[in-house]
Each structure stands twice: as C-alpha cells, then as structure tokens.
A = this chain, B = another copy of it.
C-alpha cells in the first residue's frame, strides 16, 4: 500500500515520458493523458490510469503536472469543458513544468481566486537525458510551504541538489527562460568573434584557447562549441524551431515586465534568420553557420 499522492500528468512527449517513468518508479500512482494515447502504453502497463481529458486527470489526482510545448498548449488544457479547471477540486494543486511565461497561470490565479488553487511553476533543464535519468535541474516558483510539501515529487524527477526554490509564482519560468536566453546570446556573440578572428588570420583552435584563457571565457566557448568544432554537430537533438520558440517567450517576458532588451531581440532575429535559411529541424547551434563560409 502506498500513501503517496496520486499525480496527474498531462504531456507525455520527450520530456514527460521520462519524468512520468521516474514518478512511477518512485511509487507515485499516476493518471495521465496526451494527444497521442500510444505514448502512455508503457505507463499503463506499469499501473498508470489513462484519462480521456485534462478535466478527468485533474478530477482523479491529488495534484496535476503539465509538461507542454508552449503557453498556448498550457492555456488549451486549462480552459473549456474538458480543461483542468473543470476537473480540479477547490484548493487543488497545479504544477506547470513547461518552459512558458507567467501569464496563463496569472490569469487563473486572478480569475479563479475564490477557488484557492495552489499553483507552482517548475520548469526544468537537463534535456531528455535528464528527464530519463531523473537528474533534471528544476527551478520552482511559488509559495515556500507548497514547495516544501511537493519536494518529494520533484525529487522523483530531478537531482535533489539542483531543485531550487527561486522565488514567488512566475520566478521559475523566468529563471528557465533567462538561462536559455543567455546561452543563445553567448552562442551568437561567440560565433561573431570566432568568425572575425579567423578571417583576420588567427587559427581557430588558438583563438578559442585564447578566449578560454581570458576574462571572456564561458561554458559555451570552453565546452559547448567543441561539439561543432570537433564533430560538426550542431545539436539536432534540440531543433532550432524550439530555440526560436524559447527566444520568443523570453522576449515576451521582457515585454511584459517592461525591460528593453536590444541585444536579446537581435539574438532572436539571428536565430530566426538561421531557421529561415537552414530549416526548422536544424540544430539549435545552427546560427553559427551564418558566420562560417
């Protein structure tokens, strides 16, 4: 017999499938749904319950987790006759682990204030390998008491030492988006200086090592760029279309909090230029190609 809470989980894609497998392994009873029912087969074989709608997931669970591609998908599973809000009990808990922006949750909090829902945002980093191995980094925004109460759930999916309570509601989204934005900015900034230096006659390896040895060192130039330089690998595991999506969310967040961000906006457009030129499925490091040849 388990007395762990029943976890509802909506979104069984690359990330969600690993995360649910780890929740199941940790003993959490699961209720799941997805647009593609076949994605739940293994979980159901392991004892998970299939639900026909987000509303049903919410009605049958102690807490609901969403792990979806975009804010629009999040909105779509919240509202309407089949939505989470139609099924969740008053005072119930919803954790959004999607890479998203604060607005959808803010609207729920405002428009349904009287229902006393507990809402947390908890985006992750670590890619599908982190999801599969239960070693995700998790950035949680919300009330401290909720975070403490839900810690065992997060620990089933992430590295216990890297589950960070980063602030009030919305802070988790912000941290995740800013990490991505800064990495993308580093990529473009580095691509430019490498291209200029090489065209000016410096050997690429020597230039990279000089940067690594300098105050301009970064994880990108020290480690990540080697994937391109050593293997010609632009990381097709993370498509540039997804990177553009994240960059769009990051600029949307800057808009909504009123911070002008010229450099970040230019980074988004350079990513979009690379996406237009090399296709949606090109790897997230493809903008470097705009500076090669």
A residues neighboring B (CB under 8 Å): 79-80, 102, 125, 137, 139, 141, 162, 164, 166-171, 173-175, 177-183, 185-186, 188-190, 192-197, 199-203, 206-207, 210-211, 213-221, 224, 244, 248, 250-251, 253-255, 257-270, 272-273, 275-277, 291, 293
Closest-by-CB residue of B relative to A291 is: B259
The 8 Å CB contact of A200, one of B102, B162, B193, B206, is: B102
Tell me which residues across on chain B come within 8 A of A197, comparing CB atoms. Answer: 174-175, 178
Q: Give, as a whole number of angstroms, the nearest-CB distance from A244 to chain B.
A: 8
Tell me which residues across on chain B come within 8 A of A273, comparing CB atoms. Answer: 260, 262
Report yes or no: A178 in contact with B206, Cβ–Cβ below 8 A.
no
Tell me which residues across on chain B come within 8 A of A201, comparing CB atoms. Answer: 141, 167-171, 174
Closest-by-CB residue of B relative to A207 is: B175
Closest-by-CB residue of B relative to A162 is: B213
Report yes or no: B253 in contact with A261, Cβ–Cβ below 8 A.
no
Report yes or no: A263 in contact with B261, Cβ–Cβ below 8 A.
no
- Given the interface contacts A174-B202, A218-B219, does A259 sit within 8 Å of B196 by beta carbon? yes
Report yes or no: B270 in contact with A206, Cβ–Cβ below 8 A.
no
Closest-by-CB residue of B relative to A277 is: B293
- Given the interface contacts A189-B264, A224-B215, A254-B196, does A203 sit within 8 Å of B166 by beta carbon? yes
Residue from A195, A250, A253 with most neighbouring chain B CB atoms (10 Å): A195
Report yes or no: A211 in contact with B258, Cβ–Cβ below 8 A.
no
Tell me which residues across on chain B come within 8 A of A213, comparing CB atoms. Answer: 137, 162
Complex-state Cα separation, A178 to B199, whole angstroms: 12
Complex-state Cα separation, A177 to B218, whole angstroms: 17
- Given the interface contacts A192-B264, A210-B139, does A258 sit within 8 Å of B270 by beta carbon? no
| Given A196-B264, A215-B220, A265-B265, 4 extra CB contacts under 8 A | A139-B210, A179-B215, A258-B272, A260-B273
